[in-house]
Each structure stands twice: as C-alpha cells, then as structure tokens.
Structure 1
C-alpha cells in the first residue's frame, strides 16, 4: 500500500510541484492551502507524514503543528516543517515538528526526508 503524504501550503505552485514529485515517487498525496480544522483534515486522511508550511492563512504552521502534537491519536505522525524563512530550524523546534526542510528544496532532499522519517 502506498504511503500517504499530506502537504499544507498556501502556495498553489508548491502544492502542484509536491504533488507531481510525490506521485512520481509512488506516494499518495493530499494537499491543503489552509490549516484550519487541522485535526479534522488530518483525521479524514490519516497520512503517514505531514509537511507543514510556516505561513498559512488564519492558523499558522506553528499553531497547527502544536495542535497535532497535542492530539493523542495524531501526535506520532511525523510533521516536517517547511519554509523559506531563514529560521526554519528554530521555527520547527518551536512548533515541535519532527524535522524541517528549507525552501526552495530539491527533489532529492524532499524524497530523502520522507524516506528517513518513514523508514520501517
């Protein structure tokens, strides 16, 4: 069964790029441009890994990640924080994310971070 990746980003180009890359690599992918109702969104898809942008409308990436990590059913899903912000590592730490990826990223980096966190 394919591993499921959920990408949260308000930039449609990034979502499209991630979709193309990840589908090519054999993953199932769902995208969302908002992290509102983050628990409901994630519960309805139960991804194996989540990519969370920092700048999201309404609920930002840090708060959305914290909500996920505070939820007993969802806290074990790895959340990879990704942002063009220079402080992406400290933002990821503040959010309690499991890893981070700087934008712009290259395809190898994206695939490597997924395999690292989904290594069985």
Structure 2
C-alpha cells in the first residue's frame, strides 16, 4: 500500500521537485500552494506525512502546523518543516514539527527524512 505525502509550498518548482523525487520513491503525492484550509486538505488526502513550507500563504507554516497539531484526529501526523531560513530548527520547534529540511536540500536527505518519519508506520 502506498504511503501518502502532502506537500504545502507556494514555489511550483519546489513542488515539482518534491513530487518527482517522492513519486519515484513510491509515494502518493498531493500538493497545495496555500495553507489556510490545512484541515480540509488533510481530511481529503489522508497523508502519512506532511512537508510544510514556512512562508506558505495564507496563514503561514507555523500557524498551519499548529492548527494541525491541535486537531485530535490529525495531531499524530508527522510534519517536516521546510525553509531557507537560517533559524529553521527554531521555526520547526515553534510550529510543532517533528523534523525539518533546509532549503536548498539534498534529494537523498529528502528521501531519507520522509522514510524516517514513516518508520513507525512501516514497523507496524
């Protein structure tokens, strides 16, 4: 069964890269260029992991991740925070994300981090 990744980023080139790499690794990928309806997006896509951009419109990555983590049905979904900010570790922690990926990123790091976030799911 395919694992699903939801990617929220307003940069179409980044979305294309994420999609190409993750689909080639066997994941089902859904993308969004906005974050204001994060709960609806998660309900529709049922992701196993989420990659969240810091600067995504309309409410931003921190608020979108906080909304997700406060939701009783979705707080368990691991979030990988993604940003070019130098303080990405702090931003990821503030958002409540389980991991972070600095932009620009290495494609192997992307694949490895997504796989790592899914390890508990794969072990079941």
Compute the TM-score of the two structures, normalised by the length of structure 2: 0.95
Residue in structure 1 matched with residue 34 of structure 2 by the alignment: 34
User: Which runs of 5 or more residues in structure 1 are unaligned?
Assistant: none
What's the C-alpha RMSD, in Å, of the aligned pairs? 0.6
The ranges of structure 1 where at least 4 consecutive aligned residues each deviate by more than 3 angstroms after the TM superposition are none
What is the rounded CA distance, in whole Å, between the counterparts of 2:99 and 2:13 in structure 1?
Answer: 22
What is the rounded CA distance, in whole Å, between the counterparts of 1:92 and 1:85 in structure 2?
Answer: 11
Residue in structure 2 matched with residue 70 of structure 1 by the alignment: 70
Residue in structure 1 matched with residue 22 of structure 2 by the alignment: 22
Q: CA deviation at 1:25?
A: 0.6
What is the rounded CA distance, in whole Å, between the counterparts of 2:117 and 2:17 in structure 1?
Answer: 20
What is the rounded CA distance, in whole Å, between the counterparts of 1:57 and 1:80 in structure 2?
Answer: 17
Residue in structure 2 matched with residue 44 of structure 1 by the alignment: 44
SS at match of 1:65: helix
Query: Would you say 1:12 and 2:32 are equivalent positions?
Result: no
Aligned length: 120
SS at match of 2:82: strand
What is the rounded CA distance, in whole Å, between the counterparts of 1:115 and 1:38 in structure 2?
Answer: 22
What is the rounded CA distance, in whole Å, between the counterparts of 1:52 and 1:4 in structure 2?
Answer: 14
Query: Would you say 1:55 and 2:55 are equivalent positions?
Result: yes
